[in-house]
C-alpha cells in the first residue's frame, strides 16, 4: 500500500496528496512547518514541536484551523495508518490558495499536512568520524527581516548556505549572524565544549530554538556538565576542545573540522560521545 498523507483531516495516497498551484505556501513560501521523529511508537517531544509550530504560525498571523490537541491525535493516526513505529514526521501548514498577489487576506483554506516517512539517516561514518563544516558567506536572516525563530516554509536562506557547503564537499555549513557571530548550521544547532562545559549561541543570536538543543542542554546539566548560552565567534570554535550539532534528523552529530582546521584533537571528543549515548537513551525511553 502506498504511503498515506494527511491533508485537512483526510488521507490520500502519496501520489494523490496535492495542493493548489495558487497556494501561497508554494507561491511565496507563506506557511510554517515542523520536522519531528517517532521512536518505538513514541513521538519525541511532540508538545514542544507543536508549541513551536503554533508560535511560528502566530508570528506570521496564520491561524491554524485545528487545535494542537487534535493535531497531536492526527499525527498519531497518520503514523498508525502507515504502520510506522520509527519515522520522520513533517507537519506543514500553508496559508492556502489565494490570488497571485501577496495579500494573505485574499487566501482561504490553509492546508494542514502531515507526512510520515522513513527516516533518512546521515551515514554512520559521520557519527564515528565527525563532520567537516565550512563557514557559509551567506549570513543567517537578520531577525528584523525574517526571524530565524520562525520555522517558515521560506528556507532559501538556509538553502543558499547549504549549497555553499555542498560545493565545498560539506553536508552542513556554519552560518554567522549579521554581527559576525556564530548562529547555527543550515538545519542544526551548534555547540562547542570548552574546559568541560558546553557553550551554544543564545536564541537572540538569531537562531531556531531547537527541540534537540534544549533536550541536550537538559541532558548535559543532568550529567553535571554546565551549559553557557553566550555569543560565539569562529575563533571560539577554532579553540574549542570539541564541537557537535543537534537536530531532529541528525540527533547529536560530532564536528571535527571547521574551514579545514581541526577542532581540538580533530577527533570525536569524550563529552560529545557521552551526550550521543545519553540522547539515544532518552529518545528510546521517551
Phi, psi (deg, nearest 5) at residue 256: -115, -15
**DSSP secondary-structure letter at 21?**
T
Residues 242-271 that bind ligand PMP (CB under 6 A): 246-248
Tell me if residue 151 is catalytic: yes
Applying the rule CB under 6 A, the residues between 227 and 246 that interact with ligand PMP are: 246
Q: Which of 14, 151, 162, 260 is catalytic?
A: 151
Q: Residue 11 or 155: which CB sits closer to ligand PMP?
A: 155
Contacts with ligand PMP, 7-36, as mask; x by CB under 6 A: ----------------------------x-
Does 213 help bind ligand PMP (rule: CB under 6 A)? yes
- Scanning residues 90 to 149, which ones bind ligand PMP (CB under 6 A)? none
Among 96, 110, 201, 210, binds ligand PMP (CB under 6 A): 210
Do the Cβ atoms of 88 and 119 come closer than 8 Å?
A: yes
DSSP state of 259: T
Q: Hey, which residues between 170 and 209 contact ligand PMP (CB under 6 A)?
A: 184, 187-189, 208
Q: Which residues pair with 37 in a beta bridge?
A: 88
Residue 274: CB partners within 8 Å, gap ≥ 6?
A: 223
Pairing of strands 182-185, 189-194: unpaired
Least distance to ligand PMP, CB of residue 122, Å = 13
Residue among 19, 174, 211, 256 that touches ligand PMP (CB under 6 A): 211
- Class of residue 142 by CB neighbours under 10 A (exposed 0-12, middle 13-18, buried 19+): middle
The CB-side HSE value for 75 (13 A sphere, CA atoms) comes to 29
Q: Which residues bind ligand PMP (CB under 6 A)?
A: 35, 158, 184, 187-189, 208, 210-213, 246-248
Instruction: Tell me the catalytic residues.
Output: 151
Amino acid at each position: 500500500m502506498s504511503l498515506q498523507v494527511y491533508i485537512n483531516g483526510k488521507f490520500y495516497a502519496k501520489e494523490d496528496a496535492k495542493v493548489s498551484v495558487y497556494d501561497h505556501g508554494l507561491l511565496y513560501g507563506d506557511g510554517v512547518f515542523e520536522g519531528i521523529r517517532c521512536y518505538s511508537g513514541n513521538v519525541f517531544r511532540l508538545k514542544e514541536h507543536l508549541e513551536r509550530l503554533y508560535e511560528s504560525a502566530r508570528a506570521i498571523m496564520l491561524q491554524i484551523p485545528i487545535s494542537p490537541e487534535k493535531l497531536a491525535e492526527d499525527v498519531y493516526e497518520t503514523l498508525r495508518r502507515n504502520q510506522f513505529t520509527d519515522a520522520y514526521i513533517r507537519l506543514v501548514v500553508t496559508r492556502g490558495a489565494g490570488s497571485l498577489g501577496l495579500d494573505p487576506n485574499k487566501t482561504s483554506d490553509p492546508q494542514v499536512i502531515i507526512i510520515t516517512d522513513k527516516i533518512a539517516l546521515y551515514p554512520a561514518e559521520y557519527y564515528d568520524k565527525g563532520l567537516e563544516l565550512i563557514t557559509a558567506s551567506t549570513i543567517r536572516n537578520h531577525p528584523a527581516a525574517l526571524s530565524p525563530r520562525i520555522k517558515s516554509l521560506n528556507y532559501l536562506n538556509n538553502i543558499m548556505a547549504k549549497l555553499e557547503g555542498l560545493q565545498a564537499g560539506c553536508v552542513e555549513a556554519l552560518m554567522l549572524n549579521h554581527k559576525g557571530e556564530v548562529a547555527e548550521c543550515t538545519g542544526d544547532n551548534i555547540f562547542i565544549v570548552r574546559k568541560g562545559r558546553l557553550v551554544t549561541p543564545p536564541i537572540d543570536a538569531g537562531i531556531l530554538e531547537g527541540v534537540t538543543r534544549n533536550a541536550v542542554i537538559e541532558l548535559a546539566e543532568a550529567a553535571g556538565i554546565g551549559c553557557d548560552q553566550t555569543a560565539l565567534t569562529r575563533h571560539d570554535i577554532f579553540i574549542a576542545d570539541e564541537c557537535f550539532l543537534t537536530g531532529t534528523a541528525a540527533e547529536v552529530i560530532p564536528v571535527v573540522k571547521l574551514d579545514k582546521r581541526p577542532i581540538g584533537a580533530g577527533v570525536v571528543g569524550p563529552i560529545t560521545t557521552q551526550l550521543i549515548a545519553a540522547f539515544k537513551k532518552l529518545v528510546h525511553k521517551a
